[in-house]
Structures are given as C-alpha cells and as structure tokens.
Amino acid sequence: MKYIRIIFAVALAFMFCSAFTLKNKEKQVYAFGVAASFNDSVVYCTEIQVLDSAELDKNGFLPKRELYTYQLKNHLEYEMKKPDYTCMIYFSESKSKLEKEASKVKGKYKKGNGQVLQTVTSADFTFKKPQD
C-alpha cells in the first residue's frame, strides 16, 4: 500500500508539472508586410515570416506593431531607394489564416488596377524583434 501511494504521488506530481509546461508553451506569431504608394504602380509584399520572440497581447494585438512597419518602410527607403510608401503589417498565430489573408490582399492589388505586385523575399528583408 505504501508503494501505491508513492507511485500515485509521483504520477500526480508529473501530471501537475506537465500541465504547466503545456500552458506556458508559446505560440509562434506569423506576419507579412505590404507597402503601397500613390506615386508608384508597384506594390511590395513580403513573404510570411515567423516573428522572433513575439507574443500577442491579451487582446490579440501585436505589441509594437508600428515598429515592424517602420522596419519595412526603412528597408524600402534606404535599401531599395523607394520613398513615400505606406506600409502595413498583417499578423496571426495561425499560418493558414494568414496565408488566406495574404491571398485576399494580393488579390485586391492584382485586380486590373494597373498595379504590379512584387514580392520581397525573406533573403532580402526579415522582420527583427524591436529594441525595448
């Protein structure tokens, strides 16, 4: 009977500890950016990327998301010499939902508006964790 209690106590402790490790497991946050300008017919769109060390807040928003858009804007201005672009970021914890959103956004730009959609690859640009 003594061994059964010890085994039961160990099993209970194991279940208790594993429940906390599953709860604290972080979900990955995926994002892609879009940049458009009224002065140019080219619309730039990044590939879907995993954001390093990013977590959504309790309301489901990406903290410091404006800093991610500034990263894309700075890349366009300084690396690609494309000023005056308005940049947007789309994010989600579900890659499949974000892929659907990306295809919807890209579809709006492809529909005969005379705009050309150009992809910015992950080799050229990646989002980085903003400095605190």
What tens digit of pLDDT does each residue of 62-79 get?
A: 999 999 999 999 999 999
What tens digit of pLDDT does each residue of 33-61 get?
A: 999 999 999 999 999 999 988 999 999 99
What tens digit of pLDDT does each residue of 94-130 get?
A: 999 999 999 999 998 888 678 899 999 999 999 999 8
Q: Is the pTM of the predicted complex or chain greater than 0.85?
A: no
Distances (CA, A) of 19 to 13, 14, 39: 10, 9, 54
Residue carrying the six token digits 């500034």: 70
